[in-house]
Structure 1
Amino acid sequence: MLTVVLGLSGALVYGFADFLGGLASRRLRPVVVTAVAALVGIVPLLVGLVVVDSAFSGRAVVWGAVAGLAGGAAVLLLYTALAIGPMSVLSPVTAVFAACVPVVVAVLRGTALSPLAVGMLVVAVVAVVLVASVRDTSGARLTARGVAAAAVAGCGFGGIVLAYDMTPADSGVAPLVVARALQVVLLGMAAVVVVRRGGGDAGGGAGASVRRDGAGRPGGPGRLSAPAAVGRVPLLAAGRARWSGRLVATVVACGFFDALANVFVQAGLHSSDDPLTFPVMSVLNALYPIGTVVLAGVVLRERLTPLQLVGIVLAFGASVGLALV
């Protein structure tokens, strides 16, 4: 039960971070929002080092670095995918790969899944697809390159969970700090390059636009939250965007929630010795779009589609089933 609670909490908080990142991305380039949120997110993790017993063992540092590399690469690949293809297809592709890759690895490592567990995991994956599916009105064409980029990005997000699962149980937030520090460097460099080139994250200029919706998640626990936004959002030149108090607060909250979600994931992975803990956390973690679409409905009064509503119901039903396995 604790694993399910932590998994759902992490997914919801990831979704909240995405929503805030999407709002900020209306004023700034998404890659800039992501980089700044990563920098902000390292602060609460450093505080966590003081509050929680943490150990920077060799294993914790190595797997934390793997998580950071996987997250940074996944973010950039997802940006590429969303720039060249329809979100309505590529967002679910990413989420499904993020959910399924760790489960496949767990099975290959010898984890035995009961028929009920398999059924609940399948229902949860279906829920991921339904919640992440939205109508794309951009007219973007589906290409093999876009699908490949989205699939590899999903594998990267799944790799983050794999890496955190390999860290020692007594490492605390140490691996998260290592991963976040590496992401700050990688995404910071990417942001600098984008700003210097004077183009958007899709390669356009200051007036370019990017497709987003309440389900997209270009970020990860390294899934650093950036754009989940709504509709077609004009990208302003980062140098010209005005950092108002409200915008600063939005980015700070985005970084804080993203860091908190990482803590939930790490805690959930080490909450039990049950071999099902890893695959259950992997699939629940992929339910992050729920937090985004719910907040979009509450704050922006966006309406959930019937498919999304069905997906949310299935997600919670699968969570209850997994808690009873």
Structure 2
Amino acid sequence: MGFFLALASAIAYGASDFLGGVGSRRYSSWQVALVGQCAGALVMLVAGLMLPGSPSATDFVWALLAGAGSATGSISLYRGFARGRMGLVAPTSAVGAAVLTVLAGAAFGEWPGSLVWFGIVAALPGIWLVSRTPSGDRSSNSRLAFVDGAIAGVGFGVLFVALAQVSAGAGLLPLVANQSFGAVLIFMAAAGLRQDWRPSPRVLGWGSASGVLGAVGTLAFMVATQSTGLGIAGVLASLYPAITVLLAALFLGERIAVSQRAGIGICTLAVAAMALG
């Protein structure tokens, strides 16, 4: 069950990132991320009141840390989508999140096998190929998009690791704190950087849809970690770029350079190797 829930979280995260990315290309990524966090918090609040648990103070501490990771990952990912192609940013963030969760799992006693370590090592040239800009696209925006993807990977890795520490009997109220704290951080960062954070009515649809799907992915992942290891759940959830890239190819007609396709393929195989290991 944990295996399939982790895959379900990847599907939900991938669809969420696609919608958030499309919205960020049309409107401010800060607005989309803020609406998404608020919508996710509202969904979790309703679900949490219907399914109460017995959370401890420690559960809320981990939830707040997860919220910080979620906010960092979301705004970096959407900003990267707005600057560059989804097929470049999403795989970079996925490998970063997968590697971080595997290493955290090892630190918590889940020592990975040789196949997992092979996946980690193989991911490095994949990231290098993905980060290369084709000869006709050496703009600073493309390189900044890769940096955003790397930062997003760290953020999502922190999200995955922290969520796995929430106890099984905590219920869903810690996830309300997770989403709400993420919204507060996005607001504070946007205001401090003097970004346009006030959502316009046209942003609500994109942000809400992305936020609800993201909340579903978060819930599925947290439940998955209760029946399977952090490393396995983390790398399976990190398959979300496959959904994002597929949707981008189907609906946006995105094309990716040959070298970047090779890098994406290596990244995908690296994540699969870590999952199989």
CA distance in 1 between counterparts of 2:209 and 2:126 reads: 25
Instruction: Choose which of 197, 218, 222 in structure 2 pairs with 1:266.
Output: 222
Cα gap change, 1:188/1:102 in structure 2, threshold over 3 Å: closer, same or farther?
same
Cα gap change, 1:135/1:102 in structure 2, threshold over 3 Å: closer, same or farther?
same
Q: Percent identity?
A: 28
Shift of 1:190: 3.0
* Partner AA of 1:259 in structure 2: A
CA distance in 2 between counterparts of 1:81 and 1:250 reads: 17
* Partner AA of 1:282 in structure 2: G
Matched, 1:139 2:139: yes
CA distance in 1 between counterparts of 2:145 and 2:264 reads: 27
Cα gap change, 1:40/1:130 in structure 2, threshold over 3 Å: closer, same or farther?
farther
Secondary structure (helix, strand or coil) at the match of 1:38 reads helix
Is the CA contact (8 Å cut-off) linking 2:67 and 2:178 kept in structure 1?
Answer: yes
* Partner AA of 1:48 in structure 2: A
CA distance in 2 between counterparts of 1:26 and 1:152 reads: 19
Give the equivalent residue in structure 1 for 2:32. 33
Is the CA contact (8 Å cut-off) linking 1:86 and 1:141 kept in structure 2?
Answer: no
CA distance in 2 between counterparts of 1:48 and 1:142 reads: 40
Give the equivalent residue in structure 1 for 2:53. 54
Give the equivalent residue in structure 1 for 2:161. 162
Is the CA contact (8 Å cut-off) linking 2:99 and 2:120 kept in structure 1?
Answer: no
CA distance in 2 between counterparts of 1:155 and 1:93 reads: 10
Deviation track 1:40-75 (CA, whole Å, cap 9, x = no partner) reads 111211121133342231121111111112333445
Instruction: Choose which of 267, 289, 298 in structure 1 pairs with 2:250.
Output: 298
- Match runs of 1:27-176 below 5 Å: 27-75=26-74, 92-116=91-115, 118-119=117-118, 121-122=119-120, 125=123, 129=127, 137=137, 139-140=139-140, 151=150, 153-176=152-175
Is the CA contact (8 Å cut-off) linking 1:73 and 1:153 kept in structure 2?
Answer: yes
CA distance in 1 between counterparts of 2:181 and 2:83 reads: 27
CA distance in 1 between counterparts of 2:106 and 2:80 reads: 29
Give the equivalent residue in structure 2 for 1:180. 179
Give the equivalent residue in structure 2 for 1:222. none
CA distance in 2 between counterparts of 1:109 and 1:20 reads: 34
- Match runs of 1:138-287 below 5 Å: 139-140=139-140, 151=150, 153-193=152-192, 197=194, 243-244=201-202, 248-272=204-228, 277-287=229-239
CA distance in 2 between counterparts of 1:3 and 1:131 reads: 32
CA distance in 2 between counterparts of 1:294 and 1:148 reads: 22
Cα gap change, 1:307/1:61 in structure 2, threshold over 3 Å: closer, same or farther?
same
Shift of 1:300: 2.7
Q: How many residues align?
A: 272
CA distance in 2 between counterparts of 1:79 and 1:255 reads: 12
Secondary structure (helix, strand or coil) at the match of 2:140 reads coil
Is the CA contact (8 Å cut-off) linking 2:68 and 2:182 kept in structure 1?
Answer: yes
Shift of 1:105: 2.3
TM-score by length of 2: 0.77
Shift of 1:179: 0.9
Deviation track 1:166-216 (CA, whole Å, cap 9, x = no partner) reads 11111132221111111111112334455xx4x579xxxxxxxxxxxxxxx
* Partner AA of 2:156 in structure 1: F
Deviation track 1:10-63 (CA, whole Å, cap 9, x = no partner) reads 112111111111222233210111001111111211121133342231121111
CA distance in 1 between counterparts of 2:47 and 2:112 reads: 34
Secondary structure (helix, strand or coil) at the match of 1:25 reads helix
Is the CA contact (8 Å cut-off) linking 2:43 and 2:212 kept in structure 1?
Answer: yes
CA distance in 2 between counterparts of 1:107 and 1:24 reads: 37
CA distance in 2 between counterparts of 1:296 and 1:142 reads: 17
Name the Cα RMSD after superposition. Answer: 4.1
Cα gap change, 1:86/1:295 in structure 2, threshold over 3 Å: closer, same or farther?
closer
Secondary structure (helix, strand or coil) at the match of 1:101 reads helix
CA distance in 2 between counterparts of 1:20 and 1:79 reads: 10
Any stretches of 5+ residues in structure 2 without a counterpart? none
CA distance in 1 between counterparts of 2:121 and 2:3 reads: 15
